[in-house]
A and B are shown apart, each in its own frame.
Chain A
Amino acid sequence: MTEPLSRSVIEPVNLKLNVSRNANLPHSPGIRVGDYVFLSGMGPVDPVTGGRNLGPIAEQIRQTLRNIAHMLESAGLGLDRVVKTLVVLADDRDYDEMNRVWQEFFPVDPPARTTCVLQLSNGNGVEIECIALAGKSPS
């Protein structure tokens, strides 16, 4: 017989980034299941204040990707292990800017990605969800 696949909650080391706890929302920041890590959609939360960083879109995207990197580090992984992302933009005119910033964070073999334009809350310009593969990349 096979065993149930292991499932555990992943939380950020920096408590300011634990939006679901701080705002009492019904999601976990991340779930590790078997060899994969699934992260909830994340936004541009300021890691020092826990408030929103609603600056220019490029800075919002950088902040969001830094927060994703922090979440993955909290699970012992890096951005190089991301396999799939879902990017939600509030404004499709930000697509080219997003692509520019993206290459700063994913210089080689970037993850698979789907982008769409949806309403976002609280003035957020971006929200990013990702799936990563556990384990280390061969160096």
Chain B
Amino acid sequence: MREVIATPVSGLDLRREYGHHQSPAIRAGGLVFCSGMVAINPETGEREHGTVTSETRRIFENVRLLLASAGSSLERLVQVHAMIYDRIEYDVLNRAYRRFLPSAPPARTVMSVQIEAGFKVMLDVIAAAHDRPEGTEATLSRQAVGSHNPTLSPAVRAGDFVFVSGMAAADRGTVAAETRQVLTNMAHLLETAGSSLAKVVKVNVLIYSMLEYGNMNDVYREFFPSDPPARTVCGAKLIGGHKVEIECVALA
């Protein structure tokens, strides 16, 4: 089952506030996948740009609110992609971060990326929710899906989910054209894996420049007409000169 988690406070709905085509969080397979969170005032939706410390604090307060409405909590975080605008603030991030996760913190990867709207911090998190309903045992088989490639499987079906590799367009083009080609190919790949775009729970978009966010978002929205997946978008240098690379996790 794939459930959209509504925000407990309207300001955290970035789809409503800023047109980001994403659900705040999706609960599926016992996990909660949240969209990348930035420092937003949860009541008004206003952006609260600040220091790495103040943005981190605000984001954790918001993550706590969002996870509570999904039946989870900060103590139940599993994985965090802690994104900062510059690696030089790694220690500053750690000091603020530690206050919210004093013991048994989640697994984490710190990524220095370009973040939307000039923010300094974004947290992309997965948390544990509830067990799957009784009588729906997961299979523990692991199956590679898609055309053979010696270095990566296009997708791997494992347990409740299908994990899809970062996909790039074969033909270089505009951000809009690359986004369209990637999502078209992703739809085919997911169908080969017994899933579909409608079952996608989380998408990560890497884009060569966040200045082209809108060009990606406009095409993206056509592929997810309703209840879009949780999503994180960040700016990073991509391999091979691609402008867009998209990976996802879908329900099997």
Q: Which residues of A contact B (CB under 8 A)?
A: 2-7, 9, 25-31, 33-36, 38-41, 80-81, 83-84, 86, 88, 92, 95, 99, 102-103, 106, 109-121, 127, 129, 131, 133-135, 137-138
Contacts and interface: CB of A to CB of B under 8 A. Distances in A.
Given A2-B130, A40-B107, A34 B30 contact: yes
Interface residues of B, number: 63
Interface in B85-103: 86-87, 90, 94, 97-98, 101
B108 A27 contact: yes
Interface stretch (B11-19, B157-165, B180-188): B157-165
B229 to A, nearest CB: 16
A26 B105 contact: yes
Given A2-B130, A114-B166, A92 B239 contact: yes
Contacts of B143: 109
Given A4-B129, A119-B86, 20 more contacts: A4-B128, A4-B131, A5-B30, A9-B104, A29-B107, A31-B78, A35-B160, A84-B156, A109-B142, A109-B143, A112-B153, A113-B151, A113-B165, A114-B206, A116-B237, A117-B237, A118-B236, A119-B87, A135-B140, A137-B142
Interface stretch (B45-53, B61-69, B109-117): B109-117
Interface of B: 29-31, 76, 78-80, 86-87, 90, 94, 97-98, 101, 104-113, 126, 128-134, 138, 140-144, 149-156, 158-160, 163-166, 204, 206, 236-240, 245, 247, 249
A35 B239 contact: no
Given A26-B98, A113-B166, A121-B87, A40 B108 contact: yes
Contacts of B138: 34-35
Contact of B140 (A3, A35, A114): A35
B140 A2 contact: no
Contacts of B126: 38
Nearest to B236: A116
A29 B101 CA distance: 14
Contact of B163 (A84, A103, A137): A84
A5 to B, nearest CB: 4
Contacts of B247: 112, 114
Q: Which 6 A-B pairs have the closest CB atoms?
A: A114-B166, A41-B109, A135-B140, A27-B108, A109-B144, A84-B163
Nearest to A109: B144
B152 A110 contact: yes
Nearest to A107: B150
A109 B153 contact: yes
A27 B110 CA distance: 10
Contact of B79 (A35, A38, A114): A38
Contacts of B163: 83-84, 111-112, 131
